[in-house]
Amino acid sequence: MTDTALVRAETTVRVIAQTALDNETYFCELDAVVGDGDFGYSLARGFEIVLGDWESMEYTDIAGLLKKTALILSKRIGGTSGPIWGTAFLRAGGALGDKPDPTGPDVVTALRAAIEGVKQRGNSDVGNKTLLDALIPAVDEFEAGLSEGAGKALERAAAKARDAAEATNGMLAERGRAAYTGERSKDSVDAGAIAVAVMFEAVSKTWQQDELELT
CATH code of the domain containing 20: 1.25.40.340
Question: Which pLDDT score, from 0 to 100, does residue 212 have?
Answer: 47
Look at residue 80 and tell me if it is in a domain: yes
Sign of CA dihedral 71, 75, 77, 82: positive
- 128 vs 146: CA distance, rounded Å: 28
pLDDT digits (tens, 9 = 90+) for 14-53: 999 999 999 999 999 999 887 778 999 999 999 999 999 9
What range defines the domain where residue 23 resides? 3-207
Look at residue 171 and tell me if it is in a domain: yes
Burial 5-26 (b: 16+ CB within 10 A, else e): bbebbeebbbbbbbbbeebbee
pLDDT digits (tens, 9 = 90+) for 159-171: 999 999 999 997 8
Max alpha carbon distance in the chain (Å)?
Answer: 52
For residues 129-146, average pLDDT: 97
Tell me the pLDDT band of 132, cut-offs 50, 70 and 90.
Answer: very high
How many other CB atoms are there within 10 angstroms of residue 134's CB atom?
Answer: 31
Contact 170, 125 (CB under 8 A): no
Identify the CA nearest to 128 among candidates 118, 141, 139. 118
* pTM score above 0.85: yes
Q: Is 102 left (phi over 0), alpha (psi -120 to 50) or beta?
A: beta
- How many structural domains is the chain composed of? 1
